[in-house]
């Protein structure tokens, strides 16, 4: 039985909800940056690793403090582990501020529980150091191993975090204060949404594109260019106002998303079925629409109207034909399939067949 199905069709007859500009778009160039570094975790209770690169890192660390080991000696580094450290540097992060970091073992260490990360340089894509990390790890996982080789692992003990574990050393240059314009990039590109966003800004700020004066101009389906003050203080105040303007984005494209592993099916509100007939084992689905004339009472002040009534009939008899009349929604199809207790695979097969035949108005995505 198709029990896990999410519908967007319930919103078909409702008006779209207004959203703030800050919730649907970002300012071009104002973004976070990824940082990465290589470090050494020490203080582990014997859960570290005895590998060549860990030993080399250990020697290099001691050499930085003026301690030289005999090249023929092999130090025991079972309480140490080589790790990769990564973080995200937020936009406008300033020197002296702190950011969270994630520490992951890259060798054979069985656990980082109880370890301490030594000073580690975090570099950006350009190879420059933007932050320095150090501190005690918080590890949510744990592991235990018996003498006979049996082992139990809960969560991931080889990955830990250090809240506020890295200090920012330099800022990333931003083009926020440069030029006379800024660009808003939509999270989900759409020509209609792009135009509505520009129209909202112009309307709220008193601009009139028809008279040759506009503050916001749609560039393409993803971007809207807006004229902004040059003074940095006025620019911040200007954007603080603009980003809170509310507008109604365009409806999402007609789409059906199927999770083949869980049987979850998500159906967009604008998905419709075109005329088609297919076969699928012994399951028969017939969908039709009847038009009825509604006549008001003799003395009522009303008009004659024509209404459409959808009729859905599904059975598991030994029949062969699926019949779909135009304009029927997938919501009605799924409800009909549910009533007879059909499996998710039956509905998935029907949808795929409709797509292959060109009878599904909308995109079919399988994940």
Last residue of a domain, one of 141, 168, 195: 168
User: What value does the mean pLDDT take over residues 266-291?
Assistant: 62
* Model confidence pLDDT, tens digit, residues 231-245: 999 999 999 999 999
In sequence order, what are the beta bridge partners of 358?
none
Q: In this model, does residue 7 exceed pLDDT 50?
A: no
Domain shared by 206 and 104, yes or no: no
Does 23 fall in a domain?
no
Q: Which residue has the tokens 């060549």?
A: 52
* Model confidence pLDDT, tens digit, residues 63-91: 887 887 777 777 777 888 999 999 999 99
Does 6 fall in a domain?
no
Does 20 fall in a domain?
no
Q: Are strands 81-89 and 98-105 parallel, antiparallel or unpaired?
A: antiparallel
Asked if 38 contacts 10 with a C-beta cutoff of 8 angstroms, the reply is: no
pLDDT band at 10 (very low <50, low <70, confident <90, very high): very low
pLDDT score for 255: 76
Task: Please tell me whether the overall predicted TM-score, pTM, comes out greater than 0.75 for this model.
Answer: no
CA dihedral 221, 222, 226, 228 (to 10 degrees): -170
Q: Which domain holds residue 217?
A: 177-247
How many domains does the chain fold into? Answer: 3
Last residue of a domain, one of 168, 190, 225: 168
Domain shared by 184 and 112, yes or no: no
Does 25 fall in a domain?
no
Last residue of a domain, one of 229, 247, 265: 247
H-assigned helices in the chain: 21-24, 52-64, 191-204, 232-242, 330-339, 344-356
Does 64 fall in a domain?
yes
Domain shared by 37 and 137, yes or no: yes
pLDDT score for 151: 55
């Amino acid at each position: 039985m198709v029990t896990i199905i999410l519908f967007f069709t319930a919103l078909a007859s409702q008006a779209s909800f207004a959203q703030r500009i800050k919730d649907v778009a970002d300012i071009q160039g104002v973004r976070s940056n990824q940082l990465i570094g290589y470090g050494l975790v020490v203080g582990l209770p014997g859960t570290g690793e005895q590998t060549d690169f860990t030993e080399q890192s250990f020697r290099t660390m001691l050499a930085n403090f003026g301690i030289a080991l005999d090249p023929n000696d092999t130090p025991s580094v079972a309480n140490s582990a080589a790790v990769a450290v990564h973080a995200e540097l937020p936009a406008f992060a300033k020197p002296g501020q702190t950011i969270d970091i994630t520490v992951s073992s890259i060798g054979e260490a069985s656990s980082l529980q109880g370890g301490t990360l030594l000073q580690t340089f975090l570099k950006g894509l350009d190879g420059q150091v933007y932050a320095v990390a150090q501190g005690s790890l918080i590890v949510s996982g744990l592991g235990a191993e018996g003498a006979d080789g049996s082992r139990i692992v809960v969560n991931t003990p080889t990955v830990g975090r250090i809240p506020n574990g890295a200090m920012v050393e330099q800022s990333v240059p931003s083009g926020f204060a440069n030029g006379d314009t800024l660009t808003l990039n939509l999270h989900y590109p759409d020509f209609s949404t792009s135009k509505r966003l520009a129209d909202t800004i112009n309307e709220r700020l008193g601009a009139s594109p028809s008279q040759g004066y506009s503050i916001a101009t749609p560039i393409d389906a993803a971007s809207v260019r807006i004229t902004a003050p040059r003074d940095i203080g006025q620019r911040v105040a200007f954007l603080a106002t603009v980003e809170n303007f509310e507008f109604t984005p365009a409806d999402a494209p007609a789409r059906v998303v199927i999770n083949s592993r869980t049987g979850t099916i998500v159906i967009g509100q604008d998905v419709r079925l075109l005329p088609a007939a297919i076969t699928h084992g012994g399951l028969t689905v017939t969908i039709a629409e009847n038009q009825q004339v509604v006549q008001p009472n003799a003395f009522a002040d009303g008009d004659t109207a024509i209404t459409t009534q959808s009729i859905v009939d599904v059975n598991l008899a030994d029949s062969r034909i699926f019949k779909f009349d135009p304009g029927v929604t997938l919501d009605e199809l799924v409800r009909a399939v549910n009533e007879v207790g059909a499996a998710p695979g039956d509905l998935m097969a029907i949808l795929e067949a409709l797509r292959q035949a060109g009878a599904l108005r909308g995109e079919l995505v399988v994940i």
